[in-house]
Structure 1
Amino acid sequence: MSTHRLLLVDGSSYLYRAFHAMPDLRNAQGFPTGAIQGMVNMMRRARTELDADHIACVFDAKGKTFRDEMYPEYKANRSSMPEDLALQIEAIHQVVRAMGWPVLVVPGIEADDVIGTLAKQAKAADWNVLISTGDKDLAQLVEPGISLINTMTEERLDSAGVLNKFGVPPERIVDYLSIMGDSVDNVPGVPKAGPKTAVKWLNEFGTLDELMKRSAEVKGVVGENLRASLDWLPKARELVTVKIDCDLKEHLIGLHELHAKSEDKETLRELFTQFGFKSLLRELDRGSNSAPSGTQGATQAASDVKTEAKIADVKEMSAGDLLGFVAELPTEKIERHYSCVTTEAELDVWLRKINSAALTCVDTETTGLDALRVDLVGISLAVSPGEACYIPLAHTTNEDQLNKQSVLEQLKPWLESDEHAKLGQNLKYDIHIFDGCGIKLRGIQHDTLLQSYVLESHRSHDMDSLAMRHLGEKTIAYEEVCGKGVHQITFDQVNLETATQYAAEDADITLRLHHAMYPAIAADEKLLRIYREIEMPAMLALAVMERNGILIDSAKLAAQGQIVGQRLLELEKQIHELAGQPFNIQSPKQIAEILFGKLELPVVKKTPSGAPSTDEEVLQKLAENYPLPARILDYRSLAKLQSTYIEKLPRMVNPKTGRVHTNYSQAVAVTGRLASSEPNLQNIPVRTEEGRKIREAFIAKPGSVMVSADYSQIELRIMAHIAEDESLLKAFAAGEDIHKATAAEMFHVALDQVSSEQRRYAKVINFGLIYGMSAFGLAGNLGIERSAAQQYIDTYFARYPGVADYMASTRVIAKENGYVETVFGRRLWLPEIRSANGMRRQGAERAAINAPMQGTAADLIKLAMIAVQDWIEQNHMQTCMLLQVHDELVLEVPESELELVKENLPKLMTGVASLKVPLLVEVGVGANWEEAH
């Protein structure tokens, strides 16, 4: 038997994985480099961990293959390769070759077929073969001597593994895939026949051929579908079969040409320098052959020697290197030791562990998502990477578990201790869960959701995505444990063994994510400030606000509903009269038929499918000249108000508290703004009388009043601070009406001579320019010619040259760094700022201008929330902070504390920062939110 071992890497699978796992990294010239860097890490890991004396990395070639000739619709629904990834393909080939890997790209043949041919050739020569891929189609190649590995999940498949995973042996995988079809490659199968049906049929009939012969025996709709597919199935089988006899002579002399080579360090040095991979260059210069291969990070707490060394290492890094740093850390293989705590002795062991640990991850499992209504099912803890437990408390599976109340009583001193540091993923949720159990969670030091948000606000922050991106780990999905759709069960119905693997993994992965991400934050003073002084304390203030909730007057809403309902009927009648016939006003298709078919109104724009669009922007444009689109807009606005607020709000009152409790998402908006949901209380349309009536239904409890505190013209003040324009600074310092002052400058009139029309123009220009508005946009807003709008902009910049300089320099900075910053140092990422697509790039440039102002305003309101909540708690007041809506805070204040709040609220909110212009806070008081505002 030969001792040779051939490792075949599915390069096409790898490069997509690398592209989606890495940040949007670029070199100094703006060339995208994230996928290249990810490939370096993954290929080094493969070579280090998957021992082989012969290796090859196989990529798909450009152009059509024999399958396209056979079936023109093959892969027809697959989206084109992302532009930034396509740019990196050639560079990836160069780097992989320089790393000592033979690279194979065979025109007209897919990578799978090259891999299949090489695997069978090696097997015929008595070599062992290992294929590294995430593609299930290659399971058909498995046999004794040929196995698969998915390095992202550590899953290895031999013949028994294929049978266990798919339910059929390797020799039946082609039949299995033919029955199911492949939606990714646009290969149809038997309609409605999924994996379970395919396995059932093959177990019953043995082969696809036998199934087709005896198709009359298959009953029901799926049997009819099978019989209707008999002519197609042979073609499907041909399409999903990996070829094992490709002619590779022009591209490969023989298997021995695939021997593993040494790295070409000089070429790698040139390439790493070109792409700006400073950490990889340092690794190369140290002469190390060990592979940075993921992001599992250290195995000690964040304050240990290793972490400190990492922090020191990144102190001098550029922004791109800082984001890529985590992905270049060496992987330490983590062994998992998860335990299910079901005895007092086991609980004692874990109580000792968490009481002596420097940092513990804590996580809760519950019966649902609404933190104020669900029940606690269990608690998971992790004290070091790979070491975690799950304490089941309320499972309904008739398995032994400890008494819930007893466990909580024993854990309460530790949970409420400020001395014991805790971390979690989205701990705001867990705060609510423990609060519902009579426990105040304290000692909160870290939250990985917020760490990710501070590092990469433009990426996804859920734990599954973070684990894949930073640790190279595929975690157990909730749906894998509880199912989905109508068949989904609640977590208390999950058996303890399954629950333990899922819950303990959550705690373990969260701890490891902290070790992976926190060094990059700790290494940068600005990011550390955003994380420690804004995001973490803001999370605690938000938890209090969410729990406080707000009272609503359901009777007032019901009365408003009757008025709106009547108005909707009147509008419907008007719309049908204008259209000349009745139609469904909620149907975009029917609206299009009326507007563009029957009435022949001009088509403003089209949908991706080519049909005339009827979106809000189109209707607003048409409404300038035609009455029907205007009435449809009115109808849509009122109907949304009715369904979203008038009808829904009373149903959302929590029966335990009698209040409505919104949820604030911290890690959603790139700019740092909060997002309110369930219900969304930030988007009530207050410019209409009906919208303002909705806010009248938000009331204070008896003996209290509503207080609203709002930063005045905050984004304009921030622009003046950032741009340092003398005229703007002077106007704000003098306390002038900024729109009047702008009008006076632009129209060359005295301040007291500014007309209301001139002030309106100045206001539109002021706010338009801080959102990067073009002359075209300004013309549309003011209803003037584009040339006149451009003249206004030119005049504005001439009078405020500091603003023009700010905008020009910001575009340059954004393109160089890939981000802009708030006054406080928050990074606002702009993924499209270097896009080859002109419209996307211009959109990113406009966003770059506004983002520092909007982001700084978001930072300010968070700092204000923190200051106000601290003041309330320190003075043991009954006042409650209820809502945050953009630049406004809403409080419920006992009448006995009203004067104290009115006096101190402006001081607290203006005192959180010192800008070059004075901050101004306006305070209103009323029996309801609208009256206070």
Structure 2
Amino acid sequence: MTNKKTLLLVDGSSYLYRAFHAMPDLRAVPGDPKSPATGAIRGMVNMMTSLRKEVRADYAVCIFDAKGPTFRDEWYPAYKATRSPMPDDLRTQIEPVHEVVRLLGWKVVAVPGVEADDVIGTLARVAGDQGIEVIVSSGDKDLSQLVNEHVTIIDTMNGKRRDVAGVTSEFGVPPSLMIDYQTLVGDTVDNVPGVAKVGPKTAAKWLMEYGSLDALMERATEIKGVAGENLRAAVDWLPQGRRLVTIKTDCDLVEHIDGLPALDLLAYTAQDTGALKAFYEQYGFKGLASKLDGAAAEPAPAKPAKTPKAAAPAEPGLFDEPAEPAAAPGRTPGFENVLGWEAFDAWLAKLEAAELVALDTETNSIDEMVAEIVGISFSVTPGEAAYVPVAHNYPDAPTQLPRDEVLARLKPWLENPAKLKLGQNIKYDRHVFANHGIEVQGYAHDTMLQSYVLEVHKPHGLSSLAERHLGRSGISFEDLCGKGVHQLTINQVDVEKTAEYACEDADMTLDVHRFLWPQLEADAKLRGIYELEIASSEALYRIERNGVLIDAPTLAKQSGELGARILQLEAEAHVLADQPFNLSSPKQIGEIFFTKLGLPVVKKTATGAPSTDEEVLEKLAEDYPLPAKILEHRGLSKLKGTYTDKLALLTLPRSGRVHTHYAQAVAVTGRLSSNDPNLQNIPIRTPEGRRVREAFVAPAGSVIASADYSQIELRIMAHISGDASLLRAFHEGIDVHRATAAEVFGVTVEQVSSEQRRYAKVINFGLIYGMSAYGLARNLGIDNTAAKNYIDRYFQRYPGVKTYMDETKALAKEQGYVETVLGRRLYLPEINSPNGPRRAGAERAAINAPMQGTAADLIKLSMVAVQKTLDDEKRGTKMVMQVHDELVFEVPEGEVDWLRSEIPRLMAGVADLKVPLLAEVGVGPNWDKAH
């Protein structure tokens, strides 16, 4: 018995729109808004390549809507009349998308006068008639009516699978009733009316009760209330509505699609490599073009611990590079696997003689605080590298040099600051060597940080850098170790294969450095930022290594108290709802709010159901007690689960401290991110959240100190804008929020009320973040007109700020980036986007990024200056945390007076701005009391 064959039908139009809206504003010539848009093309390449790998099929077709009207327009002239016209930048990409999908080996179909859904429906029926299984890849729920025992819909963007059970579970009716369901609900996107005020739940309820739309219409008089009236009013329309929403499965496609009805010409074909390469080069996809020269596809990050985590894309898969499995590695000439002392000594001599050495470690863990070295690789000249394995321990592993002796012989070179080293994410390797008692000196360069400074808006992983700048692709970590539950650690992998992988890493690091470093050398400002990042990496390594002591009993006590309050809130919520329910269930909350209690619907979800997200709860909590209880419950549950229950578990047993990881090359503004644990997101606006900081303590004989910049971003705004009134306020030591209130409300500083000061504070910080009149109105609880008047008055009193904002947006549009005071470049890929919301977001970022970025630069300068002073004076004080604009210290009691005077002086002196910098210090037994 032979296995059934499979037909894969791709809703190309659905894919196309997703790619266009999810991808950045890419251009054939980067940065040139007049060159052809390419974002949708690139997104389609990525998705179609990934889909071909993930879904096995014997036949495959990608179906698009054709130009012009369809038969439904003849039936109903208002069909799709409310749709916005297709953006020009999307229209220009349609033909290239069709072309590249063909070149990738897909059959492409667009039938004049017939919608893509009807082509999909007809092909599914033709295949079903021949006993062929059908998989439809689409995010369009309307296709659910096609589902049966032989037809399944998958949505690779969110992992959703709509088979018979899936459709029934999602919509409340089986696929056989989906046409009736869609008729009742209507389709606002296609401008097909349903029954007024009838949503998904009511439609499903009626159909399951009456069995079909026809039966429901026959018994419409039985439906009571407004819903019944609306149903009876729509009865004459519903047959036409059903006709419009029904996907046709009997279209005559034979003359349009070769291979029908036998499907013999619908199989995948090989991609046209030559034509693809020319296509990629034409549209500026240099990385994709270089892969077609025989190189493997871009691998996954070789070392997860060494690659900063990127922000999740809007839709999974759109931003991923399409990849094909790499060939098994073979020994590259010039790469040496060092298994004996003679070879090791020869390489040690090369290291001693080299001006710069690319250095890399292979370890048994991605946690840098516990990782142990499995092997070390070096490269001193391009194309030449060595790997020294020391702890591979799989069965039949070859005899390796003993790790302790290898490290002992390397230690003098590693700890010699005159012997310059290079790495990719050097902070990780510093920790790994420190775990073995070696404090590496002489790290001069980090390719990850070079990329971060030069091209902050792009990926900084080694494989991405090599692909983007060198056209090189290598062995990925997953190629080497596998993935998922079967993934091996490096020590379990064949030494010879690991040697190829590790040598390649070291060699690529050296190669990337030779490409990027000259660009930094040629730009004094960028070189200065890079040198700051290198110095910051050293300071952050010290902070991470120090860690901060955690008082576990304090956390346990807080967890108990939070648990009791959470239970109390549940009980109070049940009383208010007059029934028990799950406070974490949006579905149950929605039923109580909107069905039982009749609370107003603030907004709806994508499926049309009333939303109960945090924004909705906050709005409803202004007038109703139950949403307020649920909000408090959510906040306390998150605080308990994330911090009071977990922090003590994240301490390192040998130290009793948490050692957070500061990701240095993630935020485009230059700010740091903290994870494992995240110390920057403790919710300090609530009393319970602030109390968590009580558990951050110092050992006996020491205290905790906090040094924080005062109003740093407002001071930076004053410096950058040069506004006379702002400058005067800071120079005269006037409360800047009172000064703003006096200007906006037309009173003296002495006459400003606390409420006016609060308004002014919101305005000051809101405008820094590009807040609109609407946003200000919501924040202050006033109407839009009043908010607009406040903003107008603000700009009248601070004209320099308005000039700065206007000039900054214009400069950003012209050059594609803005800069911090020190010269850090903050790129804005969407600043000239034809997409209005994206462009507006980029304009807000253009105003705010120089201030956030300058604040990030200043705190990094402070870290470096403070650490240098601590080292030079051999102080016992340790920096243990960096949180936003704050440095946290563990201070011996005898050094408190020194710290109170010296740290503010150091922090205020790191830059010469038009206004004085001010750092304030607090001291206490724990972090909370230090504020």
TM-score normalised by the chain length of structure 2: 0.69
Q: 1:86 to 1:464 in 2, by over 3 A?
A: farther
Shift of 1:396: 0.6
Q: Which residue of 2 aligns with 1:30?
A: 33
**What is the CA–CA distance in structure 2 between the aligned matches of 1:441 and 1:21, rounded to whole Å?**
40
Shift of 1:414: 1.4
Shift of 1:235: 9.7
**What is the CA–CA distance in structure 2 between the aligned matches of 1:484 and 1:697, rounded to whole Å?**
38
Q: Which residue of 1 aligns with 2:214?
A: none
1:361 is aligned to 2:384: no
Shift of 1:404: 0.5
Q: 1:511 to 1:588 in 2, by over 3 A?
A: farther
Q: 1:240 to 1:869 in 2, by over 3 A?
A: farther
2:105 to 77, 99, 112: 112
1:388 to 361, 366, 385: 385
Shift of 1:629: 1.8
In structure 2, the residue corresponding to 1:932 is in which secondary structure?
coil
Q: Which residue of 2 aligns with 1:444?
A: 443
Q: Which residue of 1 aligns with 2:717?
A: 719
Q: 1:350 to 1:611 in 2, by over 3 A?
A: farther
Q: 1:748 to 1:693 in 2, by over 3 A?
A: same
- Code of the aligned partner of 1:363: D
1:441-480 paired onto structure 2 within 5 Å: 441-480=440-479
1:673 is aligned to 2:671: yes
Deviates more, 1:504-513 or 1:770-779: 504-513
**What is the CA–CA distance in structure 1 between the aligned matches of 2:470 and 2:31, rounded to whole Å?**
27
Q: Which residue of 1 aligns with 2:737?
A: 739
Shift of 1:605: 2.9
- Code of the aligned partner of 2:373: L
Q: 1:24 to 1:539 in 2, by over 3 A?
A: farther
Q: Which residue of 2 aligns with 1:919?
A: 917
Question: Structure 1 residue runs of 4+, over 4 Å off?
Answer: 19-29, 32-36, 60-65, 82-93, 108-111, 178-192, 234-240, 291-296
Q: Which residue of 2 aligns with 1:423?
A: 422
- Code of the aligned partner of 1:467: A
- Code of the aligned partner of 2:617: L
In structure 1, the residue corresponding to 2:445 is in which secondary structure?
strand
**What is the CA–CA distance in structure 1 between the aligned matches of 2:832 and 2:571, rounded to whole Å?**
50
Q: CA-to-partner distance for each residue in 1:767-823, whole Å, 9 max, x for gaps?
A: 111111111011111111110110011111000000111111111112222221111
- Code of the aligned partner of 2:812: A
**What is the CA–CA distance in structure 2 between the aligned matches of 1:577 and 1:817, rounded to whole Å?**
60
Q: Which residue of 2 aligns with 1:309?
A: none
Shift of 1:489: 2.0
Q: Which residue of 1 aligns with 2:514?
A: 515
Q: Which residue of 2 aligns with 1:343?
A: 340
Q: Which residue of 2 aligns with 1:804?
A: 802
**What is the CA–CA distance in structure 1 between the aligned matches of 2:658 and 2:770, rounded to whole Å?**
37
**What is the CA–CA distance in structure 2 between the aligned matches of 1:500 and 1:111, rounded to whole Å?**
34
Aligned length: 699
**What is the CA–CA distance in structure 2 between the aligned matches of 1:86 and 1:524, rounded to whole Å?**
37
- Code of the aligned partner of 1:359: L
Shift of 1:563: 0.8
**What is the CA–CA distance in structure 1 between the aligned matches of 2:23 and 2:618, rounded to whole Å?**
38
In structure 2, the residue corresponding to 1:654 is in which secondary structure?
coil
8 Å CA contact 1:27–1:33 kept in 2: the answer is: no
**What is the CA–CA distance in structure 1 between the aligned matches of 2:916 and 2:95, rounded to whole Å?**
52
**What is the CA–CA distance in structure 1 between the aligned matches of 2:486 and 2:775, rounded to whole Å?**
50
1:497-896 paired onto structure 2 within 5 Å: 497-532=496-531, 534-896=532-894
In structure 1, the residue corresponding to 2:657 is in which secondary structure?
coil
Shift of 1:465: 2.4
Q: 1:527 to 1:90 in 2, by over 3 A?
A: farther
Shift of 1:896: 1.4
- Code of the aligned partner of 2:359: V
- Code of the aligned partner of 1:781: N
- Code of the aligned partner of 1:742: T
Q: Which residue of 2 aligns with 1:409?
A: 408
In structure 2, the residue corresponding to 1:430 is in which secondary structure?
helix
Q: 1:396 to 1:627 in 2, by over 3 A?
A: same
In structure 2, the residue corresponding to 1:931 is in which secondary structure?
coil
Q: 1:717 to 1:243 in 2, by over 3 A?
A: closer
Q: 1:450 to 1:184 in 2, by over 3 A?
A: farther
**What is the CA–CA distance in structure 2 between the aligned matches of 1:913 and 1:570, rounded to whole Å?**
51
Q: CA-to-partner distance for each residue in 1:35-80, whole Å, 9 max, x for gaps?
A: 69x99xx9xxxxxxxxxxxxxxxxx997569xxx9xxxxxxxxxxx
1:213-228 paired onto structure 2 within 5 Å: none
In structure 1, the residue corresponding to 2:344 is in which secondary structure?
helix
**What is the CA–CA distance in structure 2 between the aligned matches of 1:914 and 1:639, rounded to whole Å?**
45
Shift of 1:579: 2.3
Q: 1:502 to 1:35 in 2, by over 3 A?
A: farther
1:241 to 267, 276, 288: 267
Question: Which sections of structure 2, spanning at least 5 residues, go unmatched?
Answer: 1-14, 46-61, 72-85, 109-131, 141-146, 154-259, 294-330
- Code of the aligned partner of 2:34: F
Q: 1:851 to 1:497 in 2, by over 3 A?
A: same
Q: 1:110 to 1:493 in 2, by over 3 A?
A: closer
**What is the CA–CA distance in structure 1 between the aligned matches of 2:869 and 2:473, rounded to whole Å?**
44
Q: CA-to-partner distance for each residue in 1:103-131, whole Å, 9 max, x for gaps?
A: x959x97763799xxxxxxxxxxxxxxxx
Shift of 1:873: 0.6
Shift of 1:20: 9.1
2:901 to 900, 903, 906: 903
8 Å CA contact 1:663–1:677 kept in 2: the answer is: yes
- Code of the aligned partner of 2:357: T
CA RMSD of aligned residues (A): 4.0
1:370 is aligned to 2:367: yes
Deviates more, 1:83-92 or 1:606-615: 83-92
Q: 1:348 to 1:634 in 2, by over 3 A?
A: same
**What is the CA–CA distance in structure 1 between the aligned matches of 2:469 and 2:882, rounded to whole Å?**
33
8 Å CA contact 1:21–1:469 kept in 2: the answer is: no
- Code of the aligned partner of 1:492: N
**What is the CA–CA distance in structure 2 between the aligned matches of 1:757 and 1:731, rounded to whole Å?**
20
**What is the CA–CA distance in structure 2 between the aligned matches of 1:808 and 1:788, rounded to whole Å?**
23
In structure 1, the residue corresponding to 2:928 is in which secondary structure?
helix
8 Å CA contact 2:879–2:889 kept in 1: the answer is: yes
Q: Which residue of 2 aligns with 1:126?
A: none
**What is the CA–CA distance in structure 2 between the aligned matches of 1:83 and 1:867, rounded to whole Å?**
51
**What is the CA–CA distance in structure 2 between the aligned matches of 1:657 and 1:400, rounded to whole Å?**
35
8 Å CA contact 2:107–2:266 kept in 1: the answer is: no
8 Å CA contact 1:61–1:109 kept in 2: the answer is: no
8 Å CA contact 1:414–1:420 kept in 2: the answer is: yes
**What is the CA–CA distance in structure 2 between the aligned matches of 1:832 and 1:391, rounded to whole Å?**
46
8 Å CA contact 1:434–1:440 kept in 2: the answer is: yes
- Code of the aligned partner of 1:31: K
8 Å CA contact 2:24–2:830 kept in 1: the answer is: no
- Code of the aligned partner of 2:349: R
**What is the CA–CA distance in structure 2 between the aligned matches of 1:181 and 1:91, rounded to whole Å?**
25
Q: CA-to-partner distance for each residue in 1:731-782, whole Å, 9 max, x for gaps?
A: 1000010011111111121111111111111111111111111110111111
Q: 1:360 to 1:370 in 2, by over 3 A?
A: same
Shift of 1:843: 1.7
**What is the CA–CA distance in structure 2 between the aligned matches of 1:610 and 1:423, rounded to whole Å?**
55
- Code of the aligned partner of 1:499: T
**What is the CA–CA distance in structure 2 between the aligned matches of 1:636 and 1:588, rounded to whole Å?**
12
